[in-house]
Amino acid sequence: MISERPDWVRLHKALAIEAEKGFVDLMGRQYRFSEFLSLTFGKFPIGLPSSERIQWQNKATQFANYPNLAQGDRQHLVAQTRRYLQQLQQTVEKQNQRLQTKTHKAGENGDSYSSPSNPGVSIPKTKSTIPSEISRHLAPKLDQKLKDLAEIGFRRSKKLESLGLYTVRDLLYYYPRDHIDYARQVNIIELQVGETVTLVATVKRCNCFTSPRNKNLSILELQLKDKTGILKINRFFAGRRFSSRAWQESVKRRYPVGSTLAACGLVKEGKYGLTLEDPELEVLGSPGDPIESLTIGRVVPIYTLTEGVVASTVRQAVIAALPATALLKDSLPSGLRKKYQLLELKDAIANIHFPSDSMTLQAARRRLVFDEFFYLQLGLLQRQQQAKKVQTGVQFSPRGKLIEKFYEILPFQLTGAQHRVVNDILNDLQKSAPMNRLVQGDVGSGKTVVATIAIIAAIQSGYQAALMAPTEVLAEQHYRKLVGWFNLLHLPVELLTGSTKTAKRREIHAQLETGELPLLVGTHALIQDPVNFQRLGLIAIDEQHRFGVKQRALLQQKGEQPHVLTMTATPIPRTLALTLHGDLDVSQIDELPPGRQKIQTTALAGNQRSHAYDLIRREIVQGRQVYIVLPLVEESEKLDLRSAVEEHQKLQEAIFPEFKVGLLHGRMTSADKDAAITQFRDRETQILVSTTVVEVGVDVPNATVMLIENAERFGLSQLHQLRGRVGRGAAKSYCLLMSSSRSADAQQRLKVLEQSQDGFFISEMDMRFRGPGEVLGTRQSGLPDFTLASLVEDEEVLILARQAAEKVIEIDVTLERWYLMREELKYRYNRLMGGAILT
């Protein structure tokens, strides 16, 4: 680990001040003297002779233990170090003079150096590492307990354990949650609100006084001036002890008028113009002097803490652990690192904690993010390849009279996209390895027809099939559609849900075991009931992201390695698809059937409600129907949202008394839900007031208006799903997004719906607004628990990691030739996925 060139002045000054103050381990603005020295000696400076590296590194260990030394030992160490630095400085400066002379002569002879082109992220040229012979003698071991390190000890280690930190390795991989960049030094005139900066200016005025409004608050007031302007800054001190005139006068003496001051902080708008919020301050000897503070002018790491653990405890522990980076073995081959412009692991770990500048921090983060993505993709691809080696004997014929007859009874032609996806599926079904394919398609793209062809292929080959949906409404919708087709094919199909009567359940169970029943549609009841198939060959799962990983696996276990077809009408962003379904073959139905109308979408404010009601009346008078969707079933004390029950009563009695208004929500019994949907489908009710139960599964082509109340409370993908309930017939359809929010963010989100009907684009935007966890809705979705990586910000790195993983698997799927990579995969993949099987 190499740092910048030695700052001799700074080191000498730090040692001199410590000696003047009586070897008390002086506390600076951010670090103690011992921490500063330990951190400085923890990195080899450019130009340090190799013969000096052991002694240089030894200083890091000695100063890490400085707080534990007696006064005399401290004095001896400081004096010894000052002599050592004086001699070393002379040696290094002589060496630099010789190098400069040699370089000058080489230039005269025409020698030159051209750096290779670097199309990716540039890597700081600080990539040398601590030699192994040093690390063996000086660096703590990676598996060493923190309590056994002298600079941490038992008491501090107990505090660190509350953060899950037990060993040196734990500390190295305890990445900062954020960094504050004070490295950019600016003039006063260049200050911008919201930026974190450092400036160097002259003290024009200094005052320290007790607040007239609060006797417990003292204020340091400074007026700073540079060649571009004047800035007023304040620091506040809470406590009675700061109100003494003696203390306040001592503070004023610390910042005398005319002295040079370095200050850093967040720029904000104050009462008298721009200022720095809670600034860090350091007086310099002159404008050109180096800044001593390890906060001012630097990139500062911010760690996640817990009660009883302060920042300095974690920081000091990390400093003590940093020499152990020399022992880290890089599991990525050098060729791969070079191809993807990646730092070595030991340099990335060191610089994620204490980067020299923001560029080095970015390079360190990029390497560590790459690792998180790479090992996830490696695990998914390895599992995919292993699954394809499984021989099941469950092979279907893609051709047959049953499929031909189905094509004949369909009242429409398949789209090009549907044909393409059907061919993908039928090709999979001919293979002896079990199919594991995900079909993504926007609302109304025709996924059910595609799945039905796969089901018929299974049945004509002598196998049974199961179709599982997340809700009774959606399961019943599938069942109703399949019954219409299967009756014409003279095939039986049954529905099994939580509402199925006991006698019917027994009948279904018996027919499955004898093989009389070729297709069963159902909800979770398919895995909760004692359902035994005679010969299950195909499983189709709709809206698969709503099922937990264990639930999907339980259904698969009801057959001998059956083919699996999963479907979703919630388009998944590319990064999410790679992360969640990197082991699946993915097909997209990216074309809507002909005749589907574009839905006119409008965001409305609360004072425009009358326009919405006028449109509803016009549409109903023309024989159309309307959905009105609300987010809650009953009034909440915390959220001022309309209750579906109360809204239904209000709409029926006060707003639309001339029309019949129906009600549908999740707490109704299954029979009541069926009745409400049937009445709406049969046009007995013109308006259906509903919660998001109608999000999927309710198919009423005559409905042309979707009014969504409190639209800002929904995610974009969910709004898009709800919008998909209309526009299913030939008439023009409308989606009205009612919102009382004046938030600019809420307005911007709803604008996306107004401008686009593309579900994949909308899902990308939804993830950017809300994050992947919110988009998926539940932790059971199997989203990996990344430490640094962001699916929103790091898409480019994810794509590169996928490419790298594909190349590695192509060369050696077992990873036998890369032992370190194989071992790292075992550790990382299981930790990322919690050992879960996603599909």
Asked if residue 311 is part of any domain, the answer here is no
**Residue 457 maps to a domain:** yes
**pLDDT surpasses 70 at 737:** yes
Residue 343 has pLDDT above 80, yes or no: yes
Name the residue range of residue 60's domain.
1-109
- Among the ranges given (51-55, 302-306, 369-373, 468-472), the one the predictor scored with the smallest mean pLDDT: 51-55
* Number of structural domains found in the chain: 4
Q: Are residues 635 and 611 in the same domain?
A: yes
Are residues 101 and 216 located together in one domain of the fold? no
Closest CA to 566 of 583, 582, 545: 545
Please compute, for residue 640, the number of CA atoms within 13 A of its CA located in the half-sphere on the CB side. Answer: 3
Q: In the structure, what pLDDT confidence band is assigned to residue 493 with cuts at 50, 70 and 90?
A: very high
Last residue of a domain, one of 554, 589, 624: 589
Residue 517 has pLDDT above 50, yes or no: yes
In terms of domains, do 85 and 232 share one? Answer: no
Q: Are residues 565 and 417 in the same domain?
A: yes
Can you read off the two tokens belonging to residue 729? Answer: 């017939």
* CATH code of the domain containing 241: 2.40.50.140
838, part of any domain: no
Q: Is the pLDDT of residue 562 over 80?
A: yes
Residue 171 domain flag: no
Q: How many CB atoms neighbour CB 754 within 10 A?
A: 12
Do 9 and 96 have their domain in common? yes
Same-domain status, 752 and 612: yes
Task: Decide: residue 65, CB within 10 A, 0-12 exposed, 13-18 middle, 19+ buried.
Answer: middle
Within a domain: 76: yes
Has residue 806 been placed in a domain?
no
Chain-centre distance for alpha carbon 215: 46
Q: How confident is the model at residue 635 (pLDDT cuts 50, 70, 90)?
A: very low
Q: Which range, of 95-104, 217-226, 670-679, averages the lowest pLDDT? A: 95-104
- Looking at the structure, tell me whether residues 576 and 467 fall in a common domain: yes
The last residue of a domain, from among 230, 263, 297: 297
Q: How confident is the model at residue 239 (pLDDT cuts 50, 70, 90)?
A: confident
**Does residue 376 lie within any of the structural domains?**
no
Q: Does 121 score more than 80 pLDDT?
A: no
**Residue 822 counted as domain residue:** no
User: How many CB atoms are located within 10 Å of the residue 496 CB?
Assistant: 25
pLDDT band for 440, please (50, 70, 90 cuts): confident
Q: Supply the pLDDT for residue 224.
A: 94
> What does the pLDDT read at residue 119?
38
Q: What is the mean pLDDT of residues 478-488?
A: 92
Determine the pLDDT at residue 290.
Answer: 61
DSSP-derived 3-state class of residue 339: helix
The domain boundary, picked from 257, 272, 297, lies at 297
- DSSP notation for 392-459: ------S--HHHHHHHHH-SSPPPHHHHHHHHHHHHHHTSSSPPEEEEEE-TTS-HHHHHHHHHHHHH
Look up the pTM and report it. Answer: 0.64
**pLDDT value at 404 more than 80:** yes
Kindly state the average pLDDT of the residues 11-22.
83
Find the mean pLDDT for residues 553-579: 78
- Alpha-carbon distances of 155 from 151, 218, 319, 755, rounded to whole Å: 11, 34, 17, 59
188 and 96 together in one domain: no
Asked if residue 520 and residue 606 are part of one domain, the reply reads no
Query: Is 522 found in the same domain as 617?
Result: no
CA 668 from chain center: how many Å?
37
Give me 591's structure tokens: 């074309």
Checking if the pLDDT of 207 tops 70, the result is: yes
On whether both 630 and 577 belong to a single domain, the answer is: no
What's the confidence (pLDDT) of residue 4? 57
Higher pLDDT, 758 or 562: 562
**pLDDT tens for each residue of 787-802:** 888 887 888 899 999 9
Q: Which domain CATH number covers 564?
A: 3.40.50.300
- Asked whether residue 4 falls in the same domain as residue 86, the answer is yes
C-alpha dihedral sign at 598, 604, 608, 609: positive
